[in-house]
Structure 1
Amino acid sequence: MITHLIGKSVLIIEDDDKIRNLVKIYLQKEGYEVLEAANGNVGKKMIEQYDPCLVILDLMLPEMSGEAICHWIREEYESLMPIIMLTAKASEKQRIAGFKLGADDYVVKPFSPAELMVRVEAVLRRTASRCGKLSFTGLTVKPVKGEALINGKKLELTNFEFKLLHMFMQHPDQILSREQILNYIYEHQEKAVTERTIDVHIKNLRDKIKENTPKDYIQTVRGMGYKFATS
């Protein structure tokens, strides 16, 4: 698993169910948050709602073409989110046209899913500054903006709750003791709360998340601490 890229969200806009599901399986194996759309209009709406870190975009789509979506992302939505075009259009002229529209990479069908994963990783590394957020199954934090969202809806968190959530999402599926949590949040500063107070803050954070989803993200590990569960 590519742990340093865990939490990056990828939107697949592809009308072929088999291809979309295959790409989804490979992405999830590598720890990515995966979003799906089977046509261009739905894909456009999901970009607006979830602001993914990367889009894998088929060009031959119903309702709205991949070329139109790419143009919309760059010119109207005014986003630099990386785009990998996934298409049967294999000529040099077509590839050049795709890059001119703003694509970051171009993969021709039929393709190797393993090679696509390498390309996804390479594009995300190259464009790391374009995605200042972490996402897991609908839960997103944007550290620069100080925002947390669940399925696109903003969570109203205190500063401490936001720091807790961001910390957990930076250490997915890892057990963290209360002492580790305090040290991480306060670093070299004087600790303003006790370890037991952490329990209260985590309970409040859990309650706010559970108002919007039944998923239990933050789990108690008896006698050890807490962990942020991604599955």
Structure 2
Amino acid sequence: MSKPAKKAAVKVNTKGKSILIVEDDLKIRQLIKVYLEREGYEVWEAEDGKQAIELYDRYEPCFTIIDLMLPQVSGEEVCQWIRTVKKSDSPIIMVTAKVDETDRINGLKMGADDYVTKPFSPKELVARVEAVLRRTANRCHKISYRGITIKPYKGEVNYAGKELSLTNNECKLLHMLMKNPNQVLSRDQMIAELYPNDEKEITWRTIDVHVRNLREKLRKVDAPDCIQTVRGMGYQFDAF
């Protein structure tokens, strides 16, 4: 009897997924960052619990990796703050040297989605992140690059905690660009997306005006100049 074919592993779409690493050991933190960035994640780093709360409040990452043993504010307190104060259900992995079963259970009860004990393989941690993301795909309705975060279903955009007041079409245009990072989109593609049922003739000039206004609003909050003009072709969002 022939063996059943193995199912291909489901690859997680990491485009625009942001992760906050909270770890006081610089070498471990930077090693985790390198492996995550290789997989396409945007990564922020915090060296203690106080900084973790500040960064989370500012950027609202899609995912958080928290070491339990932290200076100033403990990992448990950071986790509880995310769940109770921010009322966020964004996925969390706790990392610790504690191996006691009670510690693992307590971590999960606090709201963690997974629990990893030290020492660990960075590759295994990335695999754990992807496994959690597969289970919680509906809990990150946002895209983030270079500090710019968009929640398309809410029509909200912010940079480093500063909210941008965008029109509906500006928000749609930015979402279109950010969900296709580093890809050139033509003006015709943008017209088809923004005005699918409009009987009036929409010209390229309309798109240029939207882009100009969007750039001005991003500049007002000191956001990086991410929307690039590709001469003769269209526009692209520079994610790196």
The correspondence for 1:228, drawn from 196, 214, 237, is 237
Per-residue CA deviations over 1:66-90 (Å, capped at 9, x if unaligned) read 1122222223332212110011112
Structure 1 residues 3 and 107, CA, compared in 2 at 3 Å: closer, same or farther?
A: closer
The correspondence for 1:82, drawn from 84, 91, 99, is 91
The correspondence for 1:39, drawn from 48, 51, 71, is 48
Contact 2:12 2:130 in 1 (8 A): no
Q: Tell me, in whole angstroms, the C-alpha distance in 1 between the residues paired with 2:158 and 2:23.
A: 25
Contact 1:182 1:191 in 2 (8 A): no
Q: Report the count of equivalent residues.
A: 230
Q: Tell me, in whole angstroms, the C-alpha distance in 1 between the residues paired with 2:108 and 2:13.
A: 27
Give how far 1:174 is off. 0.7
Are positions 1:169 and 2:185 aligned together?
Answer: no
Q: How does 1:122-141 map to 2 (within 5 A)?
A: 122-141=131-150
Give how far 1:164 is off. 0.6
Structure 1 residues 229 and 205, CA, compared in 2 at 3 Å: closer, same or farther?
A: same
Per-residue CA deviations over 1:31-87 (Å, capped at 9, x if unaligned) read 212111110011112222222111100000000111122222223332212110011
The correspondence for 1:152, drawn from 161, 164, 182, is 161
Contact 1:71 1:102 in 2 (8 A): yes
Q: Partner of 1:212 in structure 2?
A: 221
Superposed CA RMSD = 1.7
- The structure whose Rg is larger is 2
Q: Tell me, in whole angstroms, the C-alpha distance in 2 between the residues paired with 1:152 and 1:31.
A: 22
Structure 1 residues 190 and 10, CA, compared in 2 at 3 Å: closer, same or farther?
A: farther
Contact 1:164 1:185 in 2 (8 A): yes
Amino acid at match of 2:144: S
Structure 2 unaligned segments of length 5 or more: list them: 1-10
Contact 1:220 1:227 in 2 (8 A): yes
Q: Tell me, in whole angstroms, the C-alpha distance in 1 between the residues paired with 2:193 and 2:146.
A: 24
Per-residue CA deviations over 1:97-144 (Å, capped at 9, x if unaligned) read 211221101111111111111111121221122211111011011112
Q: Tell me, in whole angstroms, the C-alpha distance in 2 between the residues paired with 1:219 and 1:57.
A: 35
**TM-score, length of structure 1 as denominator length:** 0.93
